[in-house]
Amino acid sequence: ETVRDAAGNLLGLTWNMVRAALPHLKPGASIINVSTIFSRTKYFGRAAYVVPKAAMNAFSRQLALQIGNRGIRVNIVYPGPIESQRIRTVFSAMDKLRKAEPGTTADEFLSTMALAQPEEKGPPTRTLPTVEDVANTMVFLGSDESRAFSTQGFEVTNGM
């Protein structure tokens, strides 16, 4: 993947979606952009992914400042590594690129998380956030219960 491809797919899609939707949004509407915590942390070998996401962070803030007077909120969600086979594959590839022992990258990220999640049986353990954790954050941001939030970033990282 090239930075140009990633910029078109990650930032360009957001830009064009906002341009298309904005004329139809009424006061009280909520725009929620999804970035990644990796746009603000280390993420070895993935510059083509994180650079466009970092640009989206700036875009989201500027958009919020420009359209807030219309009563439209703009916030951004920063998911951390989400529990999935995909992130395990990415972590494995990072281990190989770094010439590290298998599991090193995953262990490093887990060790930075402040929050251990409760388990049904046994003590709380550090785990990666889930898709549901991200979805619940977005449901909140799309609801009227978040009406006082704009220009904010919400990290879904278990306290990374």
**Catalytic residues, which ones?**
35, 49, 53
Cα dist from 11 to 6, 94, 144, whole Å: 8, 24, 27
Residue 11: CB atoms within 10 Å = 20
Instruction: Give kind and range of the element (H or E) at residue 38.
Output: none
Residue in the block written with tokens 């990290």 = 155
DSSP string, 60-87: HHHHHHHHGGGT-EEEEEEE-S-SSHHH
* Interacting residues of 85 by C-beta distance below 8 A, sequence separation 6+: none
Q: Please, are residues 65 and 16 in contact by the beta-carbon 8 Å criterion?
A: no
Measure the CA–CA gap between 139 and 118, rounded to whole angstroms.
22
